[in-house]
Amino acid sequence: MVTSCDFSVVLRIIGESHWLTVKHDEEELFHEVLACEKLPDVGFEHAQNLTEGKYAYEAGGYTVKIYSEVVKTVPKPFFGESMEYAFPETNGEIPITRLSWVSFSDVFVLDTVHSYPTKKGVHEVVRSLSTINLSRIAH
């Protein structure tokens, strides 16, 4: 859990995906889930698929940009604070999910890397960058 101002941000790695929750005084204000599987429609704004490897969304103090690419090495985290889960080796490589973040006053920024080895020395990577203005989502 990360605390910024009167807000707490709970970060979870859930399998090859991630789930972020923003709380204020224990009230859940906001959720972000990046999942490789289709989620049930529960009335939230959501993207079904990456179109041409890219997706962007902005609303009410929240922005997210997601893109996919094929790389030879898994990208390093953008920020110093991070958590990572390494999965069992597949195709001669280790798949990982990594979250890194930074907090400035009432803004929380999350960088995620989800790597999927396709063969030895080649990873398909889905990366997201989310910016959350904590005071704006509280209203």
61 lies in a domain?
yes
39: in domain: no
Amino acid 76 reads K
> Alpha helices, DSSP H only, in the chain?
134-137
Domain presence at residue 15: no
> Could you give the number of structural domains in the chain?
1
pLDDT for 45 equals 58
Sheet holding 107-119, edge to edge: 54-59, 62-71, 122-133, 107-119, 96-104, 81-86
Residue 66: which of 81, 84, 48 has the closest Cα?
48
**CA atoms lying within 13 Å on the CB side of residue 45:** 11
Q: Which range marks the domain in which residue 124 is found?
A: 50-137
The predicted structure's pLDDT at residue 26: 83
**How confident is the model over 55-111, as pLDDT tens digits?**
888 888 999 999 999 999 999 888 889 999 999 999 889 999 999 999 988 899 999
Specify if 45 maps to a domain.
no
